[in-house]
Structure formats: structure tokens, C-alpha cells
Structure 1
Amino acid sequence: MTDMTTDNEFCTFRLDHLTFGIEVHQVQEVIRPQALTAVPRSNPVVQGLINLRGQIVTAIDLRRRLELPERPEGQEAMNVVVRTPEGEVSFLVDEIGDVVHVDEHSFETPPDTVEGVARELITGAYKLDDRLLLILDVQRTVQLPTAA
């Protein structure tokens, strides 16, 4: 039986007009825009590789992964570096938010407004005072579909 008073902590970030969250324990660090090295013939959602203190980390453009509009010209992407069983991966996001505490009782299924591939990658949502926090499934997000 789980403790009914449990609160969950999420690192939040924005993409387009949406607010997403990743469980804090899955986030290694949040860093400013980094130089990217292109990866020829890679999946289109792979923006490139970043050198993180000597460690090579794949950078996934979450706008492309979630089939959102492209990032506006001149807007640099921030990096949310997440831990996965296969190693670290950087998610490129528009803007970093705060770490928020949410009551697990306010968890809901993904709203009907979330469509397409995003629906498969979001485990649910929390209603915050001024917005909806969409919870991203890190493991599913890093598993890129193979090109047909």
C-alpha cells in the first residue's frame, strides 16, 4: 500500500504553448544551449550530439518528437539531460520551468486535446493553478521509431 500523502516532483519545461514535466529523479541536469554536431542519416528528431564534459550525448528535438511546430528562427533550445538505462539523452526544449510539487490525487489521463504521437508519449496530466502540466514518459520518448 502506498502512502496517500505522497507528492511528486517534476522538472518542468515549455514547448510551443504547452508545459511538460519529467520526474525530477530522471533529470541529470539542465543546461544552456550547446554546440551540436550533426549526425548524418539519423532520425529527423535527432538534432545532433553534444559534448557534456567529455561524454557524448544524443540531443533529441522534443518539438519534432512530439510533432509540434518547428522552433522559431533564432530561438535557442535549452537542454534537459535525462537518465535512461541506455545512458544520458538531452531533450531540446524551448524554456526551462521550475521544479513543481504536485498532489498525486490531481493526476488525470491525457486530455483529448493531446493528439498524434504526443498522446503515446504522455502518461497523464496535472492541473496546476494557471496551466496543465503534461507528464512525459522519458523511456518511450527516447525510443525513436525506425524510418520506414
Structure 2
Amino acid sequence: MAEETKFIVFSLAHEEYGVEVDKVRTIERMMPITRVPKTPVFVKGVINLRGIVIPIIDLRERFALPQAEFTENSRIIIVAVGEMEVGLIVDSASDVIDLDTDLIADPPEVVGGIKAKYLRGVAKLKDNRLLVMLNLHEVLNKNEIIQLESIEG
């Protein structure tokens, strides 16, 4: 029996990605990010969001995509991975869609230069768009999460 799951759709380097709505806490406009020394290059720093310190990851940097200037459309998607909240910088967040989980196929080895381990799958939408589903647990692998948790302090 197919299940419908809601996904937030966002773009990164002209590709569309999806992340489950139940993992998303909030979507914020860009804001000042405080740099933190000795973190991986894709960790841009931390923000203080309503009294909570949240590490911020640049997904372009994480996936080794070409860097781009932040624009009026740039967003920080705050996601929960386990007990931790992390912000993901994306080019834009466009909409929320309902997706039949049966439509999600296993990802090919590389999609747009991104290794398959970061991806949960690829879904073909009705209008022939492809939506790449992120595997948040790999985007933030355990060792990096431990590093990030020490930032939260």
C-alpha cells in the first residue's frame, strides 16, 4: 500500500530536492551567521534562532557544487536530525508537495555530481520534473554530528 508523504521542495544549483516535512522545523530567510573555528569547510557557523544555537551547513559546499552568492530567495531550512537541529542553506524553498512513496526510485550512483549516499531516492513528478530526495542522516553523518553537537554547547 503506497503512502503519501509531504516534502518541502527546494532548489540548489538549478536542481530540485525534497526533504520530508516532518524533519523540517522552520524555513528562515538568510541571517548573519557566526563563524566557528575548526569546523568542516561546509559548516558556515551558527545562528541564534529564538534562543537556540543552530549549526548552519551550506549544502552547495557539502555537495561540492559551485558556490553562488546568496540572494533574496536564499533560505535556511532548519531540519531535525535525531535530537539535533541543523540549518541547511539552499538557493530557494519553493513549495510543499504530497508524494506517493512508491514513486521514489533508488538513486543512481551520482545525481548532478552528488554521491548516492547523500540521497534517499529520486521521484518523477507528474510534470516530468525530477525531485531528488535527501538522506539527512548521511548529509550529516555521525562523526560530523558529534562535531556539530560540540558547537551547540
State TM-score, norm by structure 1: 0.87
Q: Structure 1 residues 115, 29: CA separation in 2 closer, same or farther (over 3 Å shift)?
A: same
> Is 1:96 equivalent to 2:93 in the alignment?
yes
Q: Structure 1 residues 18, 117: CA separation in 2 closer, same or farther (over 3 Å shift)?
A: closer
Gap runs ≥5 in structure 1: none
- How many Å apart are 1:97 and its aligned residue? 1.5
Q: Which residue does 1:134 correspond to in 2?
A: 132
Q: Please list the CA deviations of residues 5-57 of structure 1 after superposition, one character each: whole Å capped at 9, or x if unmatched.
A: 42111111000111111111000011111110011121000011011011100
Contact 1:31–1:80, Cα closer than 8 Å, also in 2: yes
- Specify the code of the residue in structure 2 equivalent to 1:137: N
- How many Å apart are 1:74 and its aligned residue? 4.9
Q: Please list the CA deviations of residues 91-138 of structure 1 after superposition, one character each: whole Å capped at 9, or x if unmatched.
A: 000000111111222111214551655321001011011411100011
Q: Which residue does 1:26 correspond to in 2?
A: 23
113-122 vs 87-96, greater mean Cα deviation: 113-122
Contact 1:67–1:118, Cα closer than 8 Å, also in 2: no
Structure 1 runs (4+) deviating above 6 angstroms are: none
SS of the residue corresponding to residue 88 of structure 2 reads strand
For 1:108 and 1:20, locate their aligned partners in 2 and report how far apart those are by CA, in whole Å: 14
Identity of aligned residues (%): 35
The CA RMSD measured in Å over matched residues stands at 2.0
Q: Please list the CA deviations of residues 39-92 of structure 1 after superposition, one character each: whole Å capped at 9, or x if unmatched.
A: 112100001101101110000000011111112x35363110001124100000
More helix by share: 2
For 1:142 and 1:25, locate their aligned partners in 2 and report how far apart those are by CA, in whole Å: 17
13-22 vs 76-85, greater mean Cα deviation: 76-85
For 1:115 and 1:130, locate their aligned partners in 2 and report how far apart those are by CA, in whole Å: 17
Q: Which residue does 1:79 correspond to in 2?
A: 76
Contact 1:13–1:19, Cα closer than 8 Å, also in 2: yes
Q: Structure 1 residues 85, 113: CA separation in 2 closer, same or farther (over 3 Å shift)?
A: closer
